[in-house]
Amino acid sequence: MNAPGFETLIYEKLGTCAEIRFNRPHRLNAVVETFYCELIDALRQAEADPDVRAVLLTGEGRAFCVGADLKEHSSGGRNESQRREYLQVANDACKTIFCLSKPVVAAINGYALGAGAEIACSCDFVLMAESARIGFPEVSIGTSVGGGVSQILPRLVGLAKARELILTGIRIDGVEAARIGLASLAVADDRLKDAAIDFVNELASKAPISMGLAKKLLNDSSDNDLDIQLQNELDGLVMCTTTEDWQEGVDAFAEKREPRFKGR
């Protein structure tokens, strides 16, 4: 069922998954400020819903997201302060994805360029149609990357490959993205939707508290030394043993059945 109130997005709950579809197909889902604000609201809605265990981002029509709506930018309607506010909300949207306690999967149909590629890189997993294209054209049009890409992309593909992608602005297809580790999976174009649903459903079947903890540990790992990370892992393990889901996991293993996690 689609949640009301969004102009640039479609928000639907598919069982334990929240699907957020970018809905500006007439502009190939190019981003505007309203889009970012609504994306943040939709992600917060998914975060607050205890029935939602995973989030899927994808695009309506022929593209995932082709980046900033240059038609709107070229109108010159923003002063310097307003431009900064727009760029800040763009960063906020990517940070919200990155920090969400629930796993977020990007299913890239068509183009994911500029801001669209930044959104994808903020997700925990990227699935791509084989013919889809992802790229960072910012230096080709006199602007700069955002959304944390300069930190996240080297983690995914290594510094040398990140330099190549960002400094040349080349576009790569789903097969190449999967080969270098930017995408987790590349599938035939007509299988993307089914593959993405299967993928998020698998994620949604895991223990929600453990999932959120694991995501945070991984996200924080490059900022901490080993002693801090070991302590954080220990604290997390101790906390997990106090949950109902931990006991359910132990019982299910002993009884040789699938666990039924409740997020408690």
Closest CA relative to residue 15, chosen from 47, 41, 51, 50:
51
Kindly state the tokens that stand for 88.
């800040």
∠ Cα 222 225 124 (to 5°): 25
> Coil, helix or strand for 104?
strand
DSSP 3: P
Cα 236 to Cα 231: distance, rounded to the nearest angstrom = 9
* Whether 12 is catalytic: no
118, 164, 202, 244: which is the annotated catalytic residue? Answer: 118
Residue 70 falls in which region: left (phi positive, over 0), alpha (psi -120 to 50) or beta: alpha
> Coil, helix or strand for 30?
coil
Sheet holding 171-173, edge to edge: 63-65, 111-113, 133-135, 171-173
* Whether 255 is catalytic: no
60, 80, 130, 138: which is the annotated catalytic residue? Answer: 138
Closest CA relative to residue 115, chosen from 200, 186, 27:
27
Compute CA distances 146 → 61, 92, 93, 94, 240, whole Å: 25, 10, 11, 9, 35
Q: Do residues 18 and 41 lie in contact, with contact meaning Cβ atoms separated by under 8 Å?
A: no
| Residues annotated as part of the active site | 118, 138
